[in-house]
Structure 1
């Protein structure tokens, strides 16, 4: 285990993560944009921005398609231009897309803007987790790594608040301020010491690490990083290494499983259609207010998860989160089944779906919302990390698209209850996957995690940090 330092400070690590995560906030705002916007333009024959349900579904998932392009692009530029420059560059397309939306006179422009936002998303979610994982001390890496999910939910909440009270154009103009702030703040942050070592800029890497750790003597950590990089980059340059190298393949299976079951629990699909679902549920509470409560609770619980993940561990939180989510999704499906398929009068229980969905987001956000993204920055070695996060983002985009279309198709053709029952089944399978396949990475530095994946060390998930002895 990495020894606990008696000196130093993680302040700059927190500041760099906060600044880099402004790109994640802007990304979350783009993803959450359909929730307050689709109800305004669906079947609105009095406006040039009028779409039907099928077009609305494609507009909602358009960023997921663009993310494939962005992730593939990021994998080829992040090790060339560096983490810092790549993150700064994402502010440009995020800003342009908001301007396009603000002045859009046709649905085609909205589709193009959403696609471009997806490209920026693919770059952002490939590079920001890499950067945060590489600058973070093992003591705070769990909290900082999960901050990506926290700030993504901040974006969802902001766009639902702004979009509920402003026009589409005014919402976009206000939202364009976020990428500007991201650009102006992140330009002052140091580059990742891992990247600088990869480029043989040892002196700059030491200076960067001194700033991040707030200590003068970083030689031991630099030597450890150099040894790790030299070992891991021997086979660098092939995407196939993700699948041909046993330790990488194990990491791919873990990430693919976590991200797949995360999406097929319905989380992204629900956020896309939050206000529409609440509108269908009943009139006890307005869809605008219900969605704001939903995303506020999601933000709060994701923050709680970030604060306790380094103490409670990744795996216990994932198991609790997945089991609770399955139960809540089953209750939600049952409400909609009774409401639409039986003669039972549910008018007195209009609050139930809102309460249950809030219960879902509480338990889901405790682990499944943030920890899969956190583990993206933990499980892969430096030599293939860019390819790994590219693959993860492409994979996420595909499964989130399928899950979102699943909700829309099931809702339109069979009933909302059918979609929620489907999400319940996937959540149960996801729980079994977590129990049998996901390791504990709590308290391990990046090099120790790689040793475990190679089978050279024991899994310490069942022992306290003080009692574990590195093998």
Structure 2
């Protein structure tokens, strides 16, 4: 019983790690609000009673969606440059600025360029946050709860997406920015409470600050506490050993040895399966997907239901990721998404031939299943697996490269998805996503290693 309590997120030893995770994820929640805002808003601004003075073409809609990827790419590159120079905490602070600006642009939009810029800044915030927040969490969290805490990144994003769906569905276009701009203020203020991570401070030879940070995140308040000095010394020696192994500059040989190439292959499949499997595109264009089914129901209400399902899915992954491991969740997820997309495609195909209004509940049920199993694995623990795949020496560089590649894929898939939907139809689009998910499943079944319990300091 005591062992179970010790590994609990709410145990005295780890409660400050949980609090820090919640605080830094204010910005990922905010990013989710920005993502969720788009889908119901597209329906509003394409209607006859649009709150804006301009209409959008299908090409402009595809650019509006894909600007998220370009912004994410710039955010990745910016954080990659600043992360080791300025520290994790500075980078997390930085994210408040572009996020505040995006809502100002949305409120003031007088042409589509304003919306492009706002989506770009939304992407910048997310791309930068996806790069720094998982690294921050992995450096403050104990190994037995690291998976659960890191998976909260996507849980926060999905909570934000749901809030974005709700706000943009039920509130006027120009009201939403006034509420959303509160978030960057809260983000900046709350992060004042957190110290820099101990591994980063040790790398900068700030021993006293590193010890204070370590004790804070381990909830060791009394300098006389038994084993506190010994625990920090053990931690310091482990970080020093890693630093010693990294004293030589990285060379191409570090990137082409067998462990590195295996990790790159796994990361490439993970990234491709995440994007081409379609879950992220579905989230951004959910209202348009339900419209394309031809079912005559309130598509925005369905979209909100899907937002709730996302949260349940990621929460499920948070519970089980450190119990049954990463690999089994990934296998269940990719297989489930693939089969679900096949079924969804067949429904929409036959709905064009036969009257299936008596089955108008089926698209919602199928999409609920797809989104749920997607968030249990491929979405919910995406960053957990990505960070853990790479050897310690090349982890920082290769994670940054992977996130940059992810941003490129985000741009490509969000640009193509509405065009595929418009020119090829919903059935072909869903079958394409199914193919990507099933191929990912086969690779994971054969080659994906289990990384539960892997040390973030040593290989």
TM-score over 0.5 (shorter chain): yes
Q: 1:233 and 1:251, CA in 2 relative to 1: closer, same or farther beyond 3 A?
A: farther
Cα offset, 1:379, TM superposition: 3.1
**Separation in 2 of the partners of 1:185 and 1:241?**
42
Q: Conserved in 2, the CA contact under 8 Å of 1:251 and 1:380? A: yes
Residue 324 of structure 1 corresponds to 336
Q: 1:175 and 1:49, CA in 2 relative to 1: closer, same or farther beyond 3 A?
A: farther
Work out which of the residue numbers 254, 270, 275 in structure 1 matches 2:287: 275
Residue 225 of structure 2 corresponds to none
Q: 1:246 and 1:80, CA in 2 relative to 1: closer, same or farther beyond 3 A?
A: farther
Helix, strand or coil for the counterpart of 1:360? helix
Cα offset, 1:115, TM superposition: 1.3
Q: 1:312 and 1:231, CA in 2 relative to 1: closer, same or farther beyond 3 A?
A: same
Matched, 1:25 2:39: no
Give runs of aligned pairs for residues 109-124 of structure 1, distance below 5 A: 109-124=114-129
Cα offset, 1:94, TM superposition: 0.4
* Cα deviation digits, residues 118-165 of structure 1 (max 9, x gap): 222221111111101111100100101111110010111010011101
Cα offset, 1:244, TM superposition: 3.6
* Cα deviation digits, residues 386-409 of structure 1 (max 9, x gap): 433322222112222322333222
Work out which of the residue numbers 42, 45, 58 in structure 1 matches 2:46: 42
Cα offset, 1:381, TM superposition: 5.1
**Separation in 1 of the partners of 2:32 and 2:178?**
16
Greater Cα shift, 297-306 or 213-222: 213-222
Residue 147 of structure 1 corresponds to 152
Give runs of aligned pairs for residues 130-169 of structure 1, distance below 5 A: 130-169=135-174
Give runs of aligned pairs for residues 87-98 of structure 1, distance below 5 A: 87-98=92-103
**Separation in 2 of the partners of 1:352 and 1:202?**
59
Matched, 1:243 2:255: yes
* TM norm structure 2: 0.91
Q: 1:358 and 1:9, CA in 2 relative to 1: closer, same or farther beyond 3 A?
A: same
Cα offset, 1:242, TM superposition: 7.0
**Separation in 2 of the partners of 1:89 and 1:316?**
36
Q: Conserved in 1, the CA contact under 8 Å of 2:62 and 2:419? A: no
Work out which of the residue numbers 295, 298, 302 in structure 1 matches 2:314: 302
Cα offset, 1:228, TM superposition: 1.4
Give runs of aligned pairs for residues 97-116 of structure 1, distance below 5 A: 97-116=102-121
**Separation in 1 of the partners of 2:368 and 2:32?**
19
Q: 1:199 and 1:49, CA in 2 relative to 1: closer, same or farther beyond 3 A?
A: farther
Residue 336 of structure 1 corresponds to 348
* Cα deviation digits, residues 24-82 of structure 1 (max 9, x gap): 11111222221111111126586424201221111012111111111111111110110
**Separation in 2 of the partners of 1:274 and 1:144?**
28
Residue 265 of structure 2 corresponds to 253
Cα offset, 1:241, TM superposition: 7.1
**Number of positions where the alignment pairs a residue of Structure 1 with one of Structure 2:** 443
Greater Cα shift, 415-424 or 391-400: 391-400
Matched, 1:431 2:441: yes
Q: Conserved in 2, the CA contact under 8 Å of 1:241 and 1:248? A: no
Q: 1:8 and 1:228, CA in 2 relative to 1: closer, same or farther beyond 3 A?
A: farther
* TM norm structure 1: 0.89
Helix, strand or coil for the counterpart of 1:168? coil
Residue 14 of structure 2 corresponds to 10
Cα offset, 1:181, TM superposition: 1.0
**Separation in 1 of the partners of 2:37 and 2:249?**
41
Q: 1:241 and 1:181, CA in 2 relative to 1: closer, same or farther beyond 3 A?
A: farther
Residue 61 of structure 1 corresponds to 66
